[in-house]
Amino acid sequence: MKDVMVVIKLMMAEKRDILYSILFGVLAGLTSVGLFAMSGYMISKSALAPPLYIITIMTATLKMFGVAKSISRYAERYFSHRATFTILSNLRVSFYEKLVPLAPGIFQKYRSGDLLARIVGDVESLQNFFLRVFYPPIVLVIVFLSTIFFTTYYSIYVALTLFAGLILTGFIVPALFALRQGKIDSQVREERGALSTDVTELLYGFRDLKIYQKLDGKEKQLGKSADLYVDGQEREGIHAVFNQSVNALVALMISWFVLALGAYLVTEGELAGLFLAMLVMISLTVFENATPMALFPAHLEESRHAAARLFSIVEGKSEEEGSSDQLSKEKAYSMEMDGVSYTFLGEKRLTLENIQLNIVAGSKTAIVGPSGSGKSTVLQLLLNMYLADQGDIRLDGSPIDSLAQESIWERTNVVLQENHFFFGTIRENLMIAKDGLTDQEMETALLNVRLDSFSLEDPVFEKGENLSGGEKQRMAIARAMLKGAHVWLLDEPTSSIDAVTEKQIYDQLFEAAKDDTLILVSHRLTGLETMDQIIVMEKGSVIESGTFDELMNKKGYFYEMKQIEKSVLL
Ligand SMILES: Nc1ncnc2c1ncn2[C@@H]1O[C@H](COP(=O)(O)OP(=O)(O)OP(=O)(O)O)[C@@H](O)[C@H]1O
């Protein structure tokens, strides 16, 4: 229920539309009852051949009720849907804001398809919360109680019958069906998550599945998930319609009972026959509002589950949480790690163990070591993408957890091993580096990374499919150069680039970063002579550090690696 309270809190931002929805909902309900009551009364009254002016007044009142009913029903739909869409949009924004600080750690816990199913599907399920759970019962109770109050004036017995009908169709019948509907709904949600996960797997792995001729198997699996989901939806639909039909049947039987009771009261002389048709019409109409209540528990359960599934992802994170200290925009900052250890979620072995690092502001550092030794993880920790399990990380002397994440990302030029490119043009992909970039700045950046054969108008396909590995890396470097921050975190930025181009790019890059702090993760050991510091990692630990000459003179691990590299290159 805690999660539903979060939704209610977000909903309350739309108080005005909620009030209008209730107000017009009540008006629509009352005018509808009034319209039918009047028509019932008019039929009986007309049979007694009243003067023409009475019939004219009654006809005019009937028309007035008809028009008022249509207008208020329209207004109710308008305000309730407007409120729903605004609430959904608030919900998406609030959820996204909570999700951002958790990324990319979130991908260790959830598969992307499942995340997508939650963000799209569960948020969408919550639209029923306001439309079908929150305000309709308020409207129903007000309309019903007003009608019952009106009916007591004519017959207390009919009023009591209507009251019993309200309890039966509004609460008892829906509660009887609620349990089974809840089970079906939760199955359908699971099936939706599974289908979404299978679809994303197939889309991401399409090429490899084709090459390894395993596409058929995956497609069959996807087909099965789709069939299960469709079957689930069918079951859900049938059960929902059955619930509504049973509720409608109960409502109809109560109207029959009102007719029989009314007829008996007329014969007993306790009710004027003139009002019998009116009371029956009232009963038929007032239950119109109660029939949708059959789905109330199902929608409530669905909303509760959807909210719980959604907020379980961001549990414990509130918007107020997080630090607000900022790093300086103007200058390069220092970075320190003191006894830092880190283990990936679900892993048993330590990924990083007791790391000591001291990166002086404005210095150039290389981190080298065999594949899997933890170099990239160090960069991720310095970016505050992952949180260290033990030890302290300080940026510019401040503990990393006292700094706003945004400020760290804003002050760093980052090139990771995998960089994302969006569908669009080269210009659009470069423009994400910084606001207000001019075409000339972007063209210079392309020239600096030797991509001047590209024009800013050239297309970029989804995930940069039409760019080679080296071109993608050069685009990523260009983007980092355009950002203009004073700290550089580069994770093997030129691994797919030929040696000549690599040298030219590094010349430009080191010139641009001459006063900045720079960390370069590299497999290659060439060109490290000018670095202020080289950190050598193995199996999650720093095993050596020093300048190029110091490490070569030491004749340790780095020296050995250098000898192997030389022998391979010769
Ligand atoms: N998301 C993850 N979940 C679990 N384990 C991970 C994850 N990412 C990396 N690892 C593991 O952590 C260890 C360190 O990985 P890391 O990427 O930091 O190494 P690296 O030195 O940068 O390697 P490479 O030079 O191949 O890029 C590896 O053993 C890797 O298997």
CA of 126 to the centre of ligand 1 (A): 38
Closest listed residue to residue 57, CA positions, set 75, 44, 74, 38: 38
CA of 351 to the centre of ligand 1 (A): 7
Closest listed residue to residue 33, CA positions, set 138, 144, 171: 144
CA of 177 to the centre of ligand 1 (A): 51
| Sequential DSSP letters for 179-212 | HHHHHHHHHHHHHHHHHHHHHHHHHHTHHHHHHT
* Atom 29 of ligand 1, residue of closest alpha carbon: 372
Q: Is 355 helix (H, G, I), strand (E, B) or coil?
A: strand
pLDDT of residue 379: 94
* Atom 7 of ligand 1, residue of closest alpha carbon: 344
Residue with tokens 């670095």: 531
pLDDT of residue 549: 94
State both tokens at 413: 């030029």
* Atom 3 of ligand 1, residue of closest alpha carbon: 344
Residues 465-513 have pLDDT tens digits of 899 999 999 999 999 999 999 999 999 999 888 989 999 999 999 999 9
pLDDT of residue 130: 82
CA of 375 to the centre of ligand 1 (A): 8
CB 301 within 8 A of CB 129: no
pLDDT of residue 540: 93
pLDDT of residue 50: 83
Q: Domain coordinates of the chain in residue numbers?
A: 2-189+231-313, 335-411+485-569
pLDDT of residue 73: 93
Which residues in the chain land under pLDDT 70? Answer: 1, 101, 103-109, 315-324, 569-570
Domain topology for 2-189+231-313: ABC transporter transmembrane region fold (1.20.1560)
CA of 377 to the centre of ligand 1 (A): 7
Out of 3.30.499.10, 3.30.540.10, 3.40.50.300, 3.30.1200.10, select the CATH number for domain 335-411+485-569.
3.40.50.300
* Atom 30 of ligand 1, residue of closest alpha carbon: 372
Residues 515-534 have pLDDT tens digits of 999 999 988 888 889 999 99
- The secondary element (H helix, E strand) that includes residue 335 is strand 335-342
- The stretches of 102-155 forming alpha helices (DSSP H) are 106-109, 112-116, 123-125, 127-128, 136-152
* Atom 14 of ligand 1, residue of closest alpha carbon: 374
pLDDT of residue 322: 53
pLDDT of residue 318: 47
Chain-centre distance for alpha carbon 251: 40
What sign results for the dihedral spanned by CA atoms 133, 134, 136, 137?
Answer: positive
CA of 137 to the centre of ligand 1 (A): 54
Quick one: CA torsion of 33, 38, 44, 46, rounded to 10 degrees? Answer: -160
Q: Which residues' Cβ are closer than 6 Å to ligand 1?
A: 108, 344, 347, 351, 369, 371-377
For the chain, the helix, strand and coil percentages under 3-state DSSP, each to the nearest 5: 65, 10, 25
* Atom 28 of ligand 1, residue of closest alpha carbon: 372
pLDDT of residue 107: 66
Mapping DSSP onto H, E and C, the string for 222-271 reads HHHHHHHHHHHHHHHHHHHHHHHHHHHHHHHHHHHHHHHHHHHHHHCCCC
CB 271 within 8 A of CB 150: no
